[in-house]
Copies of this chain bind each other. A is one copy, B any other.
Amino acid sequence: MTYTLAEEDYLKAIYKIAERHGTPVSTSAIAELMQTRPASVTDMLKKLADKELIDYKRYHGVSLTRTGARQATLLIRKHRLWECFLVDKLGFSWDEVHEIAEQLEHIQSDTLIDRLDDYLENPKFDPHGDPIPDASGAYRMRYQILLSDLGLHQPAVLVGVREHASSFLQYLDQNRLALGATLEVIEVLPYDGSVRLRLGDGEPILISGQVARQLYVRQTTESA
Contact = CB atoms under 8 A, between A and B. Distances in A.
A107 B112 contact: no
Interface string A84-107: 001001111000100110011001
Nearest to A108: B103
Contacts of A103: 107-109
Interface in A102-131: 103-104, 107-109, 111-112, 115-116, 119
Contact residues of A: prevailing secondary structure? helix
Contact of A115 (B90, B108, B111, B119): B90
A153 B100 CA distance: 51
A84 to B, nearest CB: 14
A147 B206 CA distance: 71
19 contacts: A86-B112, A89-B119, A90-B112, A90-B115, A90-B116, A90-B119, A91-B115, A92-B111, A92-B115, A96-B111, A99-B109, A100-B107, A100-B109, A100-B112, A103-B107, A103-B108, A103-B109, A104-B104, A104-B107
